[in-house]
Amino acid sequence: MTLLKEKMVLLAPFVVLLVILIFSLTLIPSVHPEPKNLPIAIVNEDQGAELLGRGKLNRGAEIALNIKKETSGEDAAVKWIDVKNEKSARNGLNDRTYYAALIIPKDFSQKQSSLQTAHPAGAKVKILINQGANTIAANAAGQMLNQLVEHINQQVREQLLTTLEKRGAALSAEQASLLAAPIEKDIENVNKISANSANGNAPVSLVQPLWMASIAGALLIFAKVRKLRFFKRTEALFSRLLQGLIGAVLAAICGYGLVWIAGEWVGMNIPQFHETALFIALCYFSFYLMIAAVTAWVGLSGAGIFGILFFFGTPLLTLAPEMMSAFYRDWVYSWLPMRFASEGLRDLLFFDKGLDMNQPVTVLLAIGTVSFLLLLAAALKPQAVSKEAEEKISF
C-alpha cells in the first residue's frame, strides 16, 4: 500500500491527462480545415459579340465581375486574381502562386449569344487544377469551380427560357440539348501527382523519416562528444568541426539511402533520383547542424524541442497555409524548418524543377551555416575545457 502514497503515483492521472491534452492539440489543424482566401486565377480572354439592338456584349467580363462580387471578401474562401492570359496563369500554377485557374475563352460571348438563335453552339470554360501544389487545397479549389460553373449554368438557363418566353418562341431541339449544360467544363489537372505518390503527400512522407533520422544522428554524436575531455580549446574546436563533418557523411547516407528505399522498396515514384537525394542530404545536414548546435549549448534537454516540432509540425505539412487558422499559419507553420524540406521536395517530385537556388535551398543553407557557426562557437564556452584539464595546464 506504500506505493499508493507516493506523490508520483497520485500525480500520474494528471500527467496522463496533460500529455493527452498536449498531443491532442496536434489534431486541431487537420480536423476541419476550411479554405480562406485560396488564390485562384481568373482569365477573361473573351472578345465579346455584337448583338442586334444591344451593341457589343462581353459575357466573360460580366461573369468575371459577378464571380468576384459574389465570392470575394475578407473571410471569403477564394481570393480571385485577375491574370491577363492563359500562359501567365499556367506560369503562376507552375510557381505555386495559384491552386487553380478559370479560363474564359475568346469566343465565349459569341457562343453564348448563339443560344438564342436557330443554330446554337455551346460555350466552354477551362478549369486548371494545380494538383501538385497541395492535394487538399487543389481538390477544394476544383470543387468550388465546378459548383461555380453549375451556378452560372443555372442562371443562363433561366435567362434563355425567360427571353424565349417573352418572344413567344418555342425551344428548338438543338437549344433543348444544350440547355442541360449551356457552358461546358474542360477540366485539366496540371502538375499531376502520380499514382505512387501517397495521394500527393509524398513530400511529407519523406520529411518524416528525414527529420527523425536527423535527430537520431545528431544525438548519437552529441552523446559521444559529451563524454570527451579536452585539454585545449583547439581540441574542443576540432571536435566540433569533426562533429559537423560526420554530419555531412550521415547526410549523404540519408539522402541516397532514403530515396533508394522509398523508390525501390516502398515503390514511391521519384522522377529525379540524384537531385532528390542531394536535396534530402542538404535537408539532413541543415537539420543535423541545427540540432547539434542547440544540444551543444543547451544540452540533451534541447532535443525535446525537435520532438515537439515533429508532433506539432507534421500535420501542418499536409495542409495549405490558406487552410490553417491564423495562429497555426503565423506562429507555427511559418517557423517550421521542415516545411522548407517539404516545399523543396514538392518542386522536385511534382513540378519537374531541378535542384537550384530556390527559396527552400536558400533557407536550408542559411539554417545550416548559422547552426555550424554556433556549433563551433560552443567550443569557446567555459565548460568546453574540463576543470581537471585546466588544473593540469596551470600546474
39 shares a domain with 82: yes
Cell readout for 381 is 564556452
Distance CA 322, CA 164 (A): 44
Q: What's at 233, amino acid-wise?
A: R
Residue 169: other Cβ atoms inside 10 A: 12
Distance CA 175, CA 160 (A): 9
Q: Quote the domain boundaries for residue 347.
A: 198-391
101 shares a domain with 68: yes
- Work out how many domains the chain is built from and give that number: 2
**Which H or E element spans position 283?**
helix 273-298
272 shares a domain with 242: yes
Task: Give the 3-state secondary structure of residue 314.
Answer: helix
137 shares a domain with 81: yes
* 334 occurs within a structural domain: yes
185 shares a domain with 68: yes
279 shares a domain with 166: no
307 shares a domain with 178: no
Distances, alpha carbon 282 to alpha carbons 73, 351, 364, 368, in Å: 41, 19, 7, 9
204 shares a domain with 126: no
Q: In 69-139, at which residue ranges do the beta strands (DSSP E only) sit?
A: 78-83, 100-104, 123-130
224 shares a domain with 175: no
Distances, alpha carbon 145 to alpha carbons 34, 58, 300, 306, in Å: 16, 21, 51, 40
Domain's final residue, options 190, 206, 222: 190
pLDDT in the model for residue 241:
94
247 shares a domain with 98: no
Distance CA 370, CA 375 (A): 9
Find the CATH number of the domain harbouring 37.
3.40.1710.10
* 314 occurs within a structural domain: yes
* 27 occurs within a structural domain: no
172 shares a domain with 132: yes
Domain's final residue, options 157, 190, 223: 190
pLDDT in tens, the chain (395 residues): 565 556 666 677 777 777 777 666 666 666 667 888 999 999 999 988 876 656 678 888 988 988 888 777 777 889 999 999 999 999 999 999 999 999 999 988 888 777 777 677 778 899 999 999 999 999 999 999 999 999 888 887 777 777 766 766 666 667 666 677 788 899 999 999 988 898 899 999 999 999 999 999 999 999 988 888 877 888 889 999 999 999 999 999 999 999 999 999 999 999 999 999 999 999 999 999 999 999 999 988 888 889 888 888 888 999 999 998 888 888 889 889 999 999 999 999 999 998 899 999 999 999 999 999 999 999 887 766 655 544 443 43
203 shares a domain with 177: no
pLDDT in the model for residue 391:
45
